[in-house]
Amino acid sequence: MEHVKCLIIGSGPAGFTAAVYAARADLKPVMYEGMEPGGQLMITTEVENFPGFPVGVQGPELMAQFKEQALRFKTDVRTGMATKVDLHSIPKKVWIDDEKEITADTVIIATGASAKWLGLESEMRLRNLGGGVSACAVCDGFFYRGKEVAIVGAGDTACEEAHYLSKLCAKVYMIVRRDQFRASKAMKHRVENTANIEILYSSETQEVLGDHVVEGALIKNNVTGELREIKIDGFFVAIGHQPNTKIFDGFIDLDEQGYIITKPDSSKTNIDGVFACGDAQDKIYRQAITAAGTGCMAALDAERYLAALGH
């Protein structure tokens, strides 16, 4: 059985930043990349808001650079997914791909979150083509300046993103599946009072239209059955995120949505030696730069934890 000082689970901005700091502190980190190596930025096109890249950078290229930097300090980056844990044992146990068992003095959880999608074939196809389907208005809204877009969802995120898009785009259709919002009243009023947001209540997307890029969407009113085609250039989905924390349930304190609860001003979880960073524990900011910041915190917390134990 292999034993490591610092095991990092996940390979997005949080995981790789933790790796750089942990490696430079001589914790000899081993990282398992998980199901989506590189995380959510791998399905993003241009990233224009990551500091240090004045002319922007493609999401996959940014992640390649994160990885290169972690490798430079000899992080042991491996393919594989953590499928089971026993975080009550000392040292902590983690199983990779249901087979390999590793013990670790510290575990840094950086498993991220996955955007939820509607699951339509046309939506997935155009998303994979980079053809104008996105789950992040703050990341991609800029590309639709002066154009017409649609956003699906009725929660606080959808309202916030619709409002953000309304400042850039000529028009924003908000597709709401019920006859009411889930969002707070303040957020709802904000979108209702924005002139270029048109709210389509009781509406569901039947199909995103376009062969290679988004050209429109077919919307069905689920009360009247009426079909309506809207012309748009961008299709945004804001129906929530799912933190990838299922395997930690029962060990780590999670909130009602499954996000890891960290202690104030730290990356510490309820279990000594287990730290969490990035979108697995952040449902508010969810930016690459904030994920990277908390990854740094997790590595520093792990280093201090080990130092206090005399390692």
Question: Binding string, 42-81, against ligand NDP, x = CB under 6 A?
Answer: ----------------------------------------
Q: Does 190 sit near ligand NDP (CB under 6 A)?
A: no
Whether 152 and 161 have beta carbons less than 8 Å apart is answered as no
The smaller minimum CB distance to ligand NDP, of residues 69 and 206, is found at 206
- Please state the separation of Cα 201 from the chain's center in Å: 27
- Closest approach of Cβ 267 to ligand NDP, in Å? 20
- Closest approach of Cβ 230 to ligand NDP, in Å? 15
Q: Does 215 sit near ligand NDP (CB under 6 A)?
A: no
Angstrom distance (rounded) from CA 273 to CA 297 = 13
Question: Which of 145, 178, 189, 246 is the binder for ligand NDP (CB under 6 A)?
Answer: 178
The smaller minimum CB distance to ligand NDP, of residues 228 and 304, is found at 228
H helical segments located in the chain: 13-24, 59-72, 121-128, 137-140, 156-168, 185-192, 288-308
Whether 139 is a known active-site residue: answer yes
- Please state the separation of Cα 297 from the chain's center in Å: 18
Angstrom distance (rounded) from CA 244 to CA 296 = 20
- Closest approach of Cβ 219 to ligand NDP, in Å? 11
Q: Which of 209, 208, 284 is nearest to 243 (CA)?
A: 284
Stretch that binds ligand NDP, among 176-184, 242-250, 266-274, 302-310 (CB under 6 A): 176-184
User: In the 8-state DSSP scheme, what is residue 58?
Assistant: E
Q: Which of 239, 129, 120, 227 is nearest to 174 (CA)?
A: 239
Catalytic site residue from 6, 105, 140, 296: 140
Q: Does 283 sit near ligand NDP (CB under 6 A)?
A: yes
Q: Does 20 sit near ligand NDP (CB under 6 A)?
A: no
Whether 136 is a known active-site residue: answer yes
- Closest approach of Cβ 260 to ligand NDP, in Å? 15
The smaller minimum CB distance to ligand NDP, of residues 102 and 208, is found at 208
Catalytic site residue from 6, 136, 169, 277: 136
Whether 140 is a known active-site residue: answer yes
Backbone angles phi, psi at 155, to 5 degrees: -90, -175
Angstrom distance (rounded) from CA 92 to CA 87 = 5
Distances (CA, A) of 253 to 12, 21, 190, 208, 269: 22, 25, 34, 39, 7
- Please state the separation of Cα 7 from the chain's center in Å: 21
Question: Which of 30, 57, 77, 118 is the binder for ligand NDP (CB under 6 A)?
Answer: 118
Question: Binding string, 131-170, against ligand NDP, x = CB under 6 A?
Answer: ---------------------xxxxxxx-x----------
The set of catalytic residues is 136, 139-140
**Binding residues for ligand NDP, per CB under 6 A?**
118, 152-158, 160, 177-178, 182, 239-240, 283
